[in-house]
Amino acid sequence: MSLTIGTKAPAFSLPATDGREISLDTLKGRKVVLYFYPKDDTSGCTMEAKDFQALKADFAAADTEIVGVSPDPLKSHDKFRAKYGLDFSLASDEAKAMLEAYGVWVEKSMYGRKYMGVERTTVLIDRDGNVAQVWNKVKVPGHAEEVLKAAQALDA
């Protein structure tokens, strides 16, 4: 399933770091960047997290919350956050229900072997809970800056 810009973002409720429960309802009224990534502490995922962290103050100034989502357990998220000084929430979707609802749990292929995994995707949600923009098959370099510009433009 692919997301359509302007439609309601799929509802979700997930356990997150800092003992939080994150849901679309608790985020309503703010803009939200949901970035879906395959695995904690791998090179691309680390670079992406560090890029979002570097721009966290700019996202905060744009009243935009950053939430990283992967199927890794909270214990893994906690280690990942501590190791790289990440100051935003990471949500755990071990059941993969949200990943499927957002269309990012897909069949992948590496060296001819097929397997299921997270397709690196970012979704920008507006203050009303609607999908404002979607980036599929994200290439990490420059991506966080592009998402920030889109978040800033939502209120312009």
Question: What residues are annotated to the active site?
Answer: 45
DSSP 73-118: -HHHHHHHHHHHT--SEEEE-TT-HHHHHTT-EEEEEETTEEEEEE
The tokens for 72 are 């890794």
DSSP 140: S
Handedness of CA 151, 108, 77, 50 (dihedral sign): negative
Residue 154 contacts residue 126 (beta carbons within 8 Å): yes
C-alpha–C-alpha distance, residues 9 and 4, integer Å: 9
